Every structure is written in structure tokens, then in C-alpha cells.
Amino acid sequence: MQSYTVDVKARQAAFPVTDLSETLQDAIAITYSLGLEFIWIDAVCVPRGSWDAEAGSMHEVYGNAHFTLTSGNTAKATDRMLMEQDAWRDNVHGCRLHDPWILNTDMPLDEVRQRSPVAARGWILQEERLSPRVLYWCAQRAYWSCSECQRIEAKQPGGIRPTENGTLGLSHPQKFIAVCRTGNSQLLQSEWAALVAAYVHRLLSGQGLDLVKNRFAALSGLSVRYLTSSSSAASRDEYLAGLWRKSIARSLAWQVKTAASPFDSLQHDIPSWTWMSLPLGAEMALSPNVEESSFFQLVTEPAVVEQWTDEDVVRNGARVTVLEVLARFRPFIGTFNAVRVPWDGIESDHHPGSFDFSLDPTCSMYARNATGRILFYEPHKEEVVGQLDYFVADEVSCATVEVGEGLERSLYCLEVGVQAMILVERMSMEEDRFRRVGVSLGYRKDFFDDSEVRQLRLV
């Protein structure tokens, strides 16, 4: 959202459209040309200082819109949306330039969504996914997407690349709201996982606490929509800073694709156990198929009050900082005589992810690499491999969110699901306070045999 919102009284009086940016001027012109009399623009319609209260209502704004207009070719508010669109009118033929061929063909909508500047903006995600109809306005043509069909303006004669959804691994723009209507909890959790992965990878404006506030606010409309679809009046779910109480075990088992930068972490203002604390632009995934362990329990009492609205549930859930859990618990490196070995000394050169301990199969050992992968091996047992959330920077880090070199023995394992655990590090010797530092999925089934069940606090 842009930052030039004004007082309500200032907008009750007429004002020239030229007071607005070029992008918004063109958006108004496009809307008027389509025969519509009204347009809702957050930067103009949200009263100054009220965004925190309004953010949770975005599911109503976009969900009830005639359609949402998305500019697919503007990188900033001073860019024009309206421009000459003559290139596609000509019959273009392929020509040879040395070896490659040059051919002007239609770009599929999924590719437009992935390549356009708005694909990197965190605020835009809920505008697209909460809207039943979206008009994507691009430099050379417009695209339409709704729950019934997708259309492209003026198809280019000649070769047309496939336009089937999912060709680039993207979810259909209207899939989330379509799944919300079904009431299918499994499909809903799967789509929520896709939303989260797309959201974490996007950028937001602001610094310090303003950035933290935006991190929650830009997802609040989607969170409210999810809540209304996954809960009933008799059994309301609880929002826990980006996670959900009813699926807390699998929610905790999120995983980064590669270790993130400790310098960009938001963990000093957001709890370590939620993916919300990851740096902007990180790549991660939720694990919707994790089955909750019979030994795991969320002890934290529900904070949801019966009189709360859905917006209240999300707004207050964003402030949760501590989770008290009961679970099986053990050290990651389970033997005192384990020795550290180089990662490239045990991983196969030809088959990454495969390991060879034949040099000394009777020796307990552990290793880690630069991308945050960490491994523990016990003689004659299958190795256990985890993924740390942050890499160790070459410089002296002031972030202190990564597991420093030589501190691998301080890691503990907290079982949340069947063959799913989070890696944690003790915060204080006097209290059972731990922070999340990583995750491990699909390890050997006997890893937690004879381990103690312990109650502790995640911060």
C-alpha cells in the first residue's frame, strides 16, 4: 500500500485526479472506460492512521469487488499504465539471427504473473487471491482471470505457448477462494501452504517495527478468509502469528529451501517458531502432510474470546510470542564421543543427499555444510539429516540467530509429528525457554525411542 493516504474530510470534498500518481490516474481512466462509476484504491480510500484496523477487512473489499485491476507493467506509482499497444497488431514472422530464432508469441498468464513487478510485492498477494475476478493490465495486452475461465486480449497469430494453469508451479489466482467455499480442510491447508510460500518470497516496505507490522498486516485479509472457512462458531480456530492451532504440529514443521541470512532475520521482533520471522525474500515451504505425533500437545491456553470477531482473532493472534508445548525431547547429537567430519568427506559426489560412512562405520559423527544442512550418524543406524534456518556469516554477526560453528552439540530435537521434528536451542539455563533453529523431516522411526516427554516454552 502506498503512503499518501489523507484525512477523511479531505476526501469528502472534490479534488483533481491530477493530485494522484500517474498509475492511479490511468487506473481511473480504465475503470471509467469500462462503464463503472466507482473505484476503490487503498491509498486513497483508507483513512490516515487506520490501516491496522482496516487490513483485516481486505477479504471483504476484494472479495466483493466487481473485479480487481492489477497493473502488470508498472514498477512504481509514477509509471503509466496506458501506452501504445500496436506491436501485436502486426503479423510477425520468425526470422533467423545466427542460430536462435526470434518469434513474438503470446505470454501465458502464469508467466505474466511471475515476471511482472507486482509479483515481488507482498501487499499484492491478497489482492489477487481474494478477488473473484482479476484484470491484469500489461504493456501489450490485457488478461482476464476468474473462477470460470482465463482469457487473453488479441491472440498473436502464429505460435502460442501453453496457457494451462500450473505450468510454472503457480496456483490459479482464484483457487484459494474456490477452496474456501468447499470446506475441505485438507485442500484448504494445502492452499494455505502455497500462499505462505509465495508470501515469504515477496518484499515489503518499511524498517524495524514498521516492517514487522507490515509483515502481519499484508497477510491479514487472507488469514481472516482462511479462518472463516476452516472454523465454525462452535469450534473456532486460533491464529498464532502466521500458524494455526488446529494444525499446529504441521505448521511448526516449516522448512527453508536453503539457509537464510542471519543479518536480515526478523527474529528479534517476531518469535523464532513462526516462518514470519524469516527474512523478506526467503524461500521456504510448509509441510501440510505431516501427521501430528501422539506425544505432542500445545499446552498454551486458547486466547480466543467468544465475542471476538474474525478480524479480532487474527489481529490478536499476530501478537502471540510464546508457545508452551509438551513433546518428546532429546539432543540432536546423541553421543558424547561423536566427532565432526567434513561434509564433502561423507556426501557422494555423484548423488547429492546420499552419504557414505564406510571409512569408519563404527564411529559416531556429525557434519554441516554452508547451505545449513546438518547431519548426525550413529554406528549401524540410518543418518539423521536436518536443515538449519540460517547460515553462519563470514563476518561477525550481530544477529545471533544462527547456530555458530562449534555449537552443534547444543542442539535439541522436539518431536512435533510422525518423523517430523524441529531443532531448538536453549535460551536460558534457568528456564525451559528454547528458540527454533531448524527442522528435520523423514528421519528414522526409532530416533525418539526412550526419549523423555518434556514441557517447554518456544520463543
Give the pLDDT of residue 81. Answer: 92
Residues 39-87: pLDDT tens digits? 999 888 888 777 777 877 888 999 999 999 999 888 887 889 998 766 5
Residues 242-258: pLDDT tens digits? 999 999 999 999 999 99
With 0.75 as the threshold, say if the pTM is over it.
Answer: yes
Give the pLDDT of residue 89. Answer: 56
Residues 14-24: pLDDT tens digits? 889 998 999 99
DSSP symbol at 264: G
Q: Tell me: pLDDT of 185 over 50.
A: yes
What SS3 class is residue 451?
Answer: coil
Residue 279 in contact with residue 402, Cβ under 8 Å?
no
SS3 letters across 101-136:
EECCCECCHHHHHHHCHHHHECCHHHHHHCCCEEEE
Domain boundaries, the chain: 8-152, 182-322, 326-458
The contacts of residue 295 (CB under 8 Å, 6+ apart) are 326, 327, 328, 415, 448, 453
Distance CA 305, CA 443 (A): 39
Q: Tell me the pairing of strands 255-256 and 243-244.
A: unpaired
What SS3 class is residue 266?
Answer: coil
Burial (Cβ within 10 Å: 0-12, 13-18, ≥19) of residue 138: buried
Give the pLDDT of residue 434. Answer: 97
What grid cell was written down for 405?
Answer: 560453528
Distance CA 280, CA 43 (A): 23
CA angle 398, 399, 400 (to 5 degrees): 95
Residues 374-391: pLDDT tens digits? 999 999 999 999 999 999
Give the pLDDT of residue 431. Answer: 82
Q: Tell me: pLDDT of 322 over 50.
A: yes
**H-helix or E-strand spanning residue 436:** strand 433-441
- Cα(first)–Cα(last) distance of the chain, in Å? 30
Residue 164 in contact with residue 246, Cβ under 8 Å?
no
Mean pLDDT of 176-185: 92
CA angle 401, 212, 320 (to 5 degrees): 80
